[in-house]
Structure 1
């Protein structure tokens, strides 16, 4: 079955539509082309095609073709009146491009459907006759469409003479009928504006999604009604806030990169807002870890609707090993740590503010040791934080928001505020989107583990050093390093360490990059603490004593007169 994006036109109705399409090429000064209305809402095709893409595609791109086409026809009309043949010739490429864009997109909106379904019996029979099966037709059209060089379209068309179905591709906005003589039945737009915001430059994933829609959830009560149904209330003492806007939850899931067939662990699902978005995105297995028993019935309701894809674990996320959960259930495709492509797995969470920092430290420790979910490869991690903490995690060098957690996060991952490329312009989630609304806004950070961490030293050594340096963030870095050593040798050892890594003693913590901290951790060798080493220090107490006759304690013991001071 083709869900959502379907061949909705039968062989007979397609001819009528293209007859109307040919009318677009009539140059008239009296009639203007207009942007056709979408027969559904912008978000009707989610999660396959996002509301943002649909709005830009229809309101911006298609509208531009219509505007340009009207302007060109005005120019053509004037050139005809003046019999300016050179002008007419010069306008033809632009006219072909914009008229083709208007024709192609007018067809596209009609062959996309929000409810899914099967093609008509007549069209199904023709597909089976000419391709053998629906699946073979999909494979051939997908391969041809993916292979389009640059921008263009993949089409399923019908020859008006032989009545046979054929697959064709057209470059740019060349219309199918004018280019090949085929009448279009179904088209796939592979201009990047049709998919880049959601699928980046991975065209095969987009084309695959057109045909193989992920399983959708059956109709469920609205999230707000869901909360009232189960009488759920956020507990202030647990820093709980429910994210109610499903558009935002879906946006978080898209930013996390969840795709059809992926495995996802969601920490702190609450009433299941983000959980719904994950299931809608087509995840084949979703494990949710929730400690609050009040949310379990609501999550069980979702689990029943998800037909076995949602698994509930009532547990403390700080004490739960996600990797064990996945391994026990047969995680399908762990990848090598150095593979460029991440494994088909994700950890996602809208966390209570009071556990966000301890949890990210736990996960960073597991990343450094390749433990927990990171036994499966470089699994990306997407978490919500107070906006101040989110910006701190991604803070650059010499920024006042830079802190211990900035260094630790950037030492082992590449943290990015999602929805935007830069920190200052980052899209935030307003506190008003939550119930109850917190007094702060929220940011979403996606962590991609580094293939090679910046630090080779044990995580505990790095964390200890960074913590001590940032404990005196307003002081010189020397001040924090001295606290790592006994007072008697602190000055010498701290200066020695800074000389080795070529860092000025008078710099401050926020002016150092992760490379400098990694180098300091590597040079901060543990002290060989022994009784002899302590006894050799100035003013050692007790003073060093030597046994007068032998260096080994005799089994029968010793007398005081045998010692020499």
Structure 2
């Protein structure tokens, strides 16, 4: 295991603070500092950035981010048991770590470092990861307050986020993230790298904002993709008939075939469709 600082090994930190991972909090601690350092490097140059981390736990990734030269790390942690361990990291790194106790779903990250260059890097808790991502992509201001997102998900979720049309993984999440971002899978992590080992492989992905995404109403796009992929085996004329009567002329007005299925429509096609439906009060 890499030695990135003079702090105790993570297993000792977990033992000394009684930090058994809790399923109710979606916790799986990544202890391999080689891997946490790789994630930190994947986020890009951190020297002039404030990094926002969600769910740092005992601080493995936190230490890697600080060792990689992050100007500052703001970590949001819901589990009070982890705060003493994180305080030790803050002391070691001259206060460059600021810890906020709370639920990341209830905290606006944009308010944590106003006017600063922000990168979000996190081993996201499995139970809230997808919602957090959608919150960051759906921010009203665009370009967003963040420069990039470097996030760990279950491999299945990462495949859905990065999938292209025609893929079996392509779906609503692919469209909602692809609308505003470029998303790439970076590397997988074996379950054995975690304590406790999850039952699935994890994947790190990197997202950057599209400078000029297609103009579209988010709520309309959400409603449309929910209907289309909710019945993905059906043709659009059938899956969307509940949103507009008749739906077929609107589908054709968007330049799409009513007989096409959702998995065949690219992001631009869904945006056109959402805009046409909105214009017609659907």
- Residue pair 1:258, 1:278 contacting (<8 A) in 2 also: no
Partner residue in 1 for 2:92: 305
User: CA offset at residue 528 of structure 1?
Assistant: 5.8
Partner residue in 2 for 1:435: 195
Partner residue in 1 for 2:126: 353
- Residue pair 1:323, 1:374 contacting (<8 A) in 2 also: no
- Residue pair 2:185, 2:203 contacting (<8 A) in 1 also: yes
What does 1:156-235 correspond to in 2, within 5 Å? 217=5, 219-235=6-22
User: CA offset at residue 324 of structure 1?
Assistant: 0.8
Aligned residues: 282
Q: Which runs of 4+ in 1 moved over 4 A?
A: 526-529
- Residue pair 2:220, 2:278 contacting (<8 A) in 1 also: no
Partner residue in 2 for 1:281: 68
User: CA offset at residue 300 of structure 1?
Assistant: 0.8
TM-score (norm 2): 0.95
Looking at structure 2, the residues matched to 229 and 358 of structure 1 have their Cα atoms a distance apart, in angstroms, of 33
**3-state DSSP of counterpart to 2:91:** helix
5+ residue gaps, structure 1: 1-40, 47-216, 333-343, 419-426, 530-565
Looking at structure 1, the residues matched to 281 and 71 of structure 2 have their Cα atoms a distance apart, in angstroms, of 53
What does 1:108-119 correspond to in 2, within 5 Å? none
1:271 aligns with 2:58: yes
User: CA offset at residue 294 of structure 1?
Assistant: 1.1
Partner residue in 2 for 1:505: 258
User: CA offset at residue 526 of structure 1?
Assistant: 5.4
- Residue pair 1:262, 1:282 contacting (<8 A) in 2 also: no
What does 1:95-134 correspond to in 2, within 5 Å? none
Looking at structure 1, the residues matched to 87 and 45 of structure 2 have their Cα atoms a distance apart, in angstroms, of 22
**Among 243, 253, 256, the residue aligned to 1:484:** 243
Q: Please give the per-residue CA displacement for 1:304-356, whole angstroms capped at 9, x wherever unaligned.
A: 111111001011111111111112xxx44xxxxxxxxxxx4310111111111
- Residue pair 1:380, 1:449 contacting (<8 A) in 2 also: yes
Looking at structure 2, the residues matched to 480 and 274 of structure 1 have their Cα atoms a distance apart, in angstroms, of 43
- Residue pair 2:217, 2:275 contacting (<8 A) in 1 also: no
User: CA offset at residue 261 of structure 1?
Assistant: 3.0
Which of the two has higher C-alpha Rg?
A: 1
TM-score (norm 1): 0.48
Partner residue in 1 for 2:28: 241
**3-state DSSP of counterpart to 2:150:** strand
5+ residue gaps, structure 2: none
- Residue pair 1:269, 1:350 contacting (<8 A) in 2 also: yes
Partner residue in 1 for 2:180: 412
Partner residue in 2 for 1:387: 155
1:448 aligns with 2:201: no
**3-state DSSP of counterpart to 2:205:** strand
1:514 aligns with 2:282: no
In terms of fraction of residues, the more helix-rich structure is 1
Looking at structure 2, the residues matched to 252 and 450 of structure 1 have their Cα atoms a distance apart, in angstroms, of 22
Looking at structure 2, the residues matched to 287 and 528 of structure 1 have their Cα atoms a distance apart, in angstroms, of 43
User: CA offset at residue 527 of structure 1?
Assistant: 5.4
In terms of fraction of residues, the more strand-rich structure is 2
For the aligned residue pairs, the C-alpha RMSD in angstroms reads 1.9
User: CA offset at residue 266 of structure 1?
Assistant: 0.5
Looking at structure 2, the residues matched to 260 and 525 of structure 1 have their Cα atoms a distance apart, in angstroms, of 44
Higher RCO structure, 1 or 2 (CA under 8 Å, sep 6+): 2
